[in-house]
Amino acid sequence: MRGSGYILKRTGFALVTVFLAVTLNFVIFRAAPGDVASALRCRACTPEFKEAARREFGLDKPKVEQYGIYLKKLVQGNLGSSFVSRQPVWDEIRGPLGNTLPMLALGTLFSIVFGIAAGVVAAWRRGTFTEWSNVGVSLFFYSMPTHWLGLMLIIVFSGLLPVSGLSDPFLGFTDPSWWTVFADRMKHMVLPSLTLGLVLYGEYALITRSALLQTLGEDYILTARAKGLKSWAIVSRHALRNALLPITSLIALSLGYLVGGSILVEAVFSYPGIGLAVYEAVFERDYPVLQGAFLVLTLSVVLANYVADLLYVKLDPRVTD
């Protein structure tokens, strides 16, 4: 099988990355100052009460022993229990994760479709006003901090679209149809997903333009022009396919950006997703929720990059080992 050695290498690299991510996930939060007990603020929270809380959560054990317990639970599929709610971590993050995924999917779809289209048009119309305007707009959005762009969208669209939450709370007092619920969810999802999508749009457009311009300078493109093929046929049938390699890498790597960016965006829009759950868990020093959320998000990034590596075998015939 072509590329079998390459696939085995990438699989091994992905497994090592997962192990390192699991280890760092444990070390980082244990290295942070304070814990859930020190974060308690109440009249009954005496030093004795806090010490009892540390014993209850196993925080009084040596770090090596805590790490062993952590790995043992992970092997069993147990992410632990929340320090705050005492509920399993997976139950705590499953709902927010289900809210975040559609929002990220919508923003990613927007950025891929419009970003790649803008990059192709800019490369096709090189040296014209069309290219300059596309590059200018792409650089403008690419340089935008996500939280600042989110605030600007709130100011601009606050009278037209919902700017916070997941749904209209008044719908709970009625008997809405599934279409009404779906339309309401989409309205609440537009601004957070657009915030992420616009920043990624600029990145996709710039990378697509750069990759396509490099491909258009290859010898086989000159041969295609000499054969009398039209410019658009050359771009769409020959150049774009070979320019997909860096674009595929960018799509996979951008998932890491989406993970970090969604935390700030969801905090700005009070969107009850995994980013907002992480944001709140930081202040509560809820280590199990933080570890569970970061582990799920890290695994998604590793998986996306692994899939991108496997796609190389199909996209690039030169990949054999």
Report the pLDDT value the prediction gives residue 78, as an integer from 0 to 100: 79
Q: Is the pLDDT of residue 268 over 60?
A: yes
- What whole-number distance in Å separates Cα of residue 256 and Cα of residue 278? 15
Span 104-132, pLDDT tens digits = 888 888 888 898 888 888 887 888 888 88
Terminal Cα distance for the chain, rounded: 11
> Which pLDDT value is given to residue 107?
87
Enter the CATH code of domain 96-315.
Answer: 1.10.3720.10
C-beta neighbour count of 204 within 10 angstroms: 26
Band of the pLDDT at 306, cuts 50, 70, 90?
confident
251-272: burial string, b at 16+ Cβ within 10 Å, e else? bbebbbbbbebbbbbbbbbebb
Is the pLDDT at 314 greater than 80? The verdict is no
The b-or-e profile of 76-86 (16+ CB within 10 A means b, else e) is eeebbbbbbee
Among 228, 279, 288, smallest CA distance to 86 is for: 288
For residue 268, how many C-alpha atoms fall within 13 Å in the half-sphere facing its CB? 22
Evaluate the CA torsion angle 272, 275, 281, 283 in order and state its sign.
Answer: negative
**Residue that wins the pLDDT comparison between 76 and 153:** 153
User: Hey, where are the domains in the chain?
Assistant: 96-315
Is the per-residue pLDDT at 36 higher than 70?
Answer: no
Q: Coil, strand or helix: which one is 23?
A: helix
Instruction: Give the Å distances, CA to CA, from 109 to 11, 154, 237, 246, 306.
Output: 27, 21, 22, 18, 20
The predicted model gives 201-215 an average pLDDT of 85
Nearest to 81 by CA among 57, 51, 45: 57
Given a cut of 80, is residue 238 above it in pLDDT?
Answer: no
Q: So what's the pLDDT on residue 50?
A: 65
Average model confidence (pLDDT) for the chain?
A: 79
What is the helix (H) or strand (E) element at residue 10, kind and residue range? helix 4-31
**Exposed/middle/buried for residue 146 (C-beta within 10 Å: 0-12, 13-18, 19+):** buried
Asked if pLDDT for residue 266 goes beyond 70, the answer is yes
Band of residue 12 on the pLDDT scale cut at 50, 70, 90: confident
